[in-house]
Amino acid sequence: MAAFPTTPPATLPAPAPQDSLILRLDSAARLFLAQHHMGEHALLPELQTLCLPVVTLWSRLLRYDPATPDWPDRDRFVVPSASMLPLLHAMLHLSAPTPPPQTLGYGQHPAVEIAPGPAGQGIAAAAGMALAEQVMATRHGRSLVNHRTWVLARDTDLQTGVALEAAQLAGRFGLNRLAVLVSPAPTTDPAEFADSLARFSASGWSVRSVGAGNLAAITTALTATLRARKPTLVAFLPEDTPHPTAAPPEEELTGPWSPTARRGASVRRSWLRRLARHRGRYSFERECSGAPPPLLAEDWLRLWRQTLQHQPTHSSQQAAMAGLAALAATRPELTVLTATSGARSAPAHADQPDWPCGLQEHGMAGMLNGMALHGGLLPCAVAGMITIDRMRAALRMTALMRRKVLYLLTDDGLALSGNGGGWQPVEQLASLRAMPNLAVFRPGCAEETFACWQAALRWNGPALLVLCPHDTPDTPTPPPGRFGSATHGGYLLHGGPQRQVTLVSSGPEVTIALAAARALEETGIRTAVAALPCWEVFATQPEAYRTAVLGETGLRVGIEAASGFGWERWLGPNGIFIGMDDFGVSAPASAVYERFGITTGAICSRVINHLAASGGNEAIPVHAPVLT
């Protein structure tokens, strides 16, 4: 930490326009842009247009202390596209006591709030940060949480579906501490840009257009956002009047002497004094660190068990919702966003209403990224399983940045009659399992749901719980020799090491696998049942454990009401997969299970036929006693 000047800081907003100071800093920023970003990419013309507004923002308003760039109550200055980063680089250069790294990217400097991603994701993430600020301010008070979120957007961001969905949510939630700064690209049709602004205006935003060379107007527009009752979009229009190149700034305007650094240090010192006196200090600090409270697992488990004793359930979906309510009571930083299609009857907790996001799932998923990036919250989404396709681009950013977001995906069932195949998940599980850093859990009974949820909270990255509304009878109490548990990702539920057949299954199909195992054993075939609720966690177990669960010899049969893509990993070259090889059909669950052969009878005949056909290859005779 560098030493800071002790001169009295300027108050917020700046008392009198120190225009010449800002113009000199603006010249210095332009000089930096010209000098440091010649080779790589051509500089975006919007960077020139936005330079003076950004310099004004940093000099007069932004709460940012270069000495502690990750201070929790800092303003978030979100730059979602790589081509806009040079402007942030320039501001860091002018205000930081030590120069920032030569290349600036997510993870390289705390002031880079987000990894560059597809267009529109940054606006959605910023809306999530603003929502996080609002939620935390409600919980901890304005003396600890009192910052804003600024986004340096591109005009193309405004046209994307994800930004338009997030804009509707920001308007609906009244996120008035969110401000988007944008400038039209020279190639943009002015009428289309005006349409973009009108769409934001129609989404409950306050929209202003300002000439980018008019310092007084810029200051007025930026200061107005402090009083705004809606999220704000400020469009800075390029102006022909060339900016007068002032002399480069003297040393007392940059580095630790920059107005940003001086104001930021002062504001943070006051904040630290308030924090030291605050009676909620320890819970605030714990939540900002992201650590779970002590004794979380015990408290949560006890509460959950109480709920389930009152209302026993046999569906993973109902059990998970009870778990969500119990988690909300034990971990108050849990914040739940729900999509309409997600089955969620009542809010988790009286003090913590859910945030209803309608059918704006993509905007919602983008906001979850921002909430996770903001820190201090445990963001959780409740949505229908099939809608994950729409959230995928945002979810990928969560995985790429390894942020903690929990998804409860409901209605992963075969019984979605009436609506047709468009609502029946088929390839979604496989497509999610293919994504790096993401863990996909598909629990069966209530017990397994709890274990999976514990593992999901421990997972380093986003985790999905894929839930089914079907009744899944509790699996019978396993014998003492049971091997492993659901927290291992996969475990042996039935049977021992010596077996001819291992049925490997997940979710509600585990019950069918258990029934099939009993039927096969009646014909003299020694059968084991392995539950595989999470591939990613199971893959981290030692190979000896995995082999013990899946069986060293004998036939492996995968059973899952979904596409079999990727199952060869666990079943080997001679395994059988029983699932769905096509889009779903519109019928009651039992008929669909019948159609795809996911029934006790169909499984038994597939297994018996296979064993008879492969005969000697399996090394263990069929219909004959097995020596242990």
Active-site position among 46, 113, 287, 361? 361
Mask 153-172, x = binds its own copies (CB under 8 A)? ---x--xxxx-xx--x--xx
Which CB atom, from 23 or from 115, has the smaller least distance to its own copies?
115
Q: Does residue 192 interact with its own copies by CB under 8 A?
A: yes
Interacting stretch for its own copies, rule CB under 8 A, among 91-99, 116-124, 457-465, 509-517?
116-124
According to DSSP H, which parts of 61-143 are helical?
85-95, 121-140
Count of CB atoms situated within 10 Å of the CB of 310: 8
CA distance 508 to 314: 10
Interacting stretch for its own copies, rule CB under 8 A, among 405-413, 420-428, 470-478, 607-615?
420-428
State how beta strands 491-494 and 527-531 pair.
antiparallel
Place of tokens 């949505």: 383
Q: Among 488, 458, 412, 377, which Cα is nearest to 131's? A: 377
Work out which of 44, 62, 414, 435 binds its own copies, going by CB under 8 A: 435
What tokens appear for 502 in the block? 């291992």
Work out which of 132, 210, 378, 386 binds its own copies, going by CB under 8 A: 386
Q: Among 342, 436, 351, which Cα is nearest to 380's? A: 342
Mask 20-59, x = binds its own copies (CB under 8 A)? --------------------xx------------------
Task: Give least dist CB 374 to its own copies, A.
Answer: 19
Which CB atom, from 75 or from 155, has the smaller least distance to its own copies?
155
What tokens appear for 5 in the block? 């000047």
CA distance 9 to 67: 16
Q: How many residues does the chain have?
A: 628
Task: Give least dist CB 82 to its own copies, A.
Answer: 5
Count of CB atoms situated within 10 Å of the CB of 511: 21
Q: Does residue 390 interact with its own copies by CB under 8 A?
A: yes
Name which of residues 120 to 149 contact its own copies (CB under 8 A): 120
Q: Does residue 463 interact with its own copies by CB under 8 A?
A: no
Q: Does residue 545 interact with its own copies by CB under 8 A?
A: no
Active site residue 448: no
Task: Evaluate whether 133 touches 374 at the Cβ level (below 8 Å).
Answer: yes
Which CB atom, from 37 or from 140, has the smaller least distance to its own copies?
37
CA distance 570 to 498: 18
Q: Among 104, 17, 115, which Cα is nearest to 61's? A: 17
Interacting stretch for its own copies, rule CB under 8 A, among 173-181, 194-202, 498-506, 520-528?
194-202
Helix, strand, coil fractions of the chain, as percent rounded to 5: 45, 10, 40
Which CB atom, from 105 or from 621, has the smaller least distance to its own copies?
105
Q: Does residue 397 interact with its own copies by CB under 8 A?
A: yes
Which CB atom, from 214 or from 340, has the smaller least distance to its own copies?
340
Task: Give least dist CB 124 to its own copies, A.
Answer: 10
Q: What is the dihedral sign for C-alpha 470, 474, 479, 485?
A: positive
Q: Does residue 359 interact with its own copies by CB under 8 A?
A: yes
Which CB atom, from 15 or from 573, has the smaller least distance to its own copies?
573
Q: Does residue 553 interact with its own copies by CB under 8 A?
A: no
Task: Give least dist CB 292 to its own copies, A.
Answer: 27
The number of residues that bind its own copies (CB under 8 A) is 70
Task: Give least dist CB 228 to its own copies, A.
Answer: 18
Interacting stretch for its own copies, rule CB under 8 A, among 244-252, 343-351, 353-361, 473-481?
353-361
Q: Which amino acid is at 60?
A: R
Q: Does residue 431 interact with its own copies by CB under 8 A?
A: yes
Q: Does residue 176 interact with its own copies by CB under 8 A?
A: no
Helix (H) or strand (E) holding 372: helix 361-374
Which CB atom, from 113 or from 448, has the smaller least distance to its own copies?
113
User: Residue 174, CB half-sphere, CA atoms under 13 Å: how many?
Assistant: 4
Beta sheet of 76-78, edge-to-edge order: 76-78, 149-152, 178-182, 232-237, 206-211
- Residue 206 makes CB contacts below 8 A (sequence gap 6+) with 228, 229, 230, 231, 232, 233
Task: Evaluate whether 16 touches 59 at the Cβ level (below 8 Å).
Answer: no
What tokens appear for 326 in the block? 């119990």
What tokens appear for 271 in the block? 């904040």
- CA-atom Rg of the chain in angstroms: 28
CA distance 271 to 256: 19
Q: Among 224, 119, 133, which Cα is nearest to 173's? A: 133
Which CB atom, from 311 or from 547, has the smaller least distance to its own copies?
547
CA distance 127 to 275: 26
Which CB atom, from 11 or from 419, has the smaller least distance to its own copies?
419
State how beta strands 178-182 and 232-237 pair.
parallel
The helix/strand/coil state of 311 is coil
Q: Does residue 437 interact with its own copies by CB under 8 A?
A: yes
Mask 301-340, x = binds its own copies (CB under 8 A)? ---------------------------------------x
Which CB atom, from 422 or from 621, has the smaller least distance to its own copies?
422
Q: Does residue 86 interact with its own copies by CB under 8 A?
A: no
Work out which of 285, 427, 474, 594 binds its own copies, going by CB under 8 A: 427
Q: What are the two backbone dihedrals, phi and then psi, of residue 156, each rounded to the nearest 5 degrees?
A: -65, -30
Which CB atom, from 40 or from 522, has the smaller least distance to its own copies?
40
Q: Does residue 601 interact with its own copies by CB under 8 A?
A: no
Positions in the binding site for its own copies (CB under 8 A):
40-41, 82, 105-106, 115-120, 156, 159-162, 164-165, 168, 171-172, 192, 195, 198-199, 201-204, 340, 358-360, 362-363, 386-387, 389-390, 392-393, 396-397, 399-400, 418-422, 426-427, 430-431, 433-437, 563, 565-566, 568-569, 572-573, 581-583, 586
- Active-site positions read 361
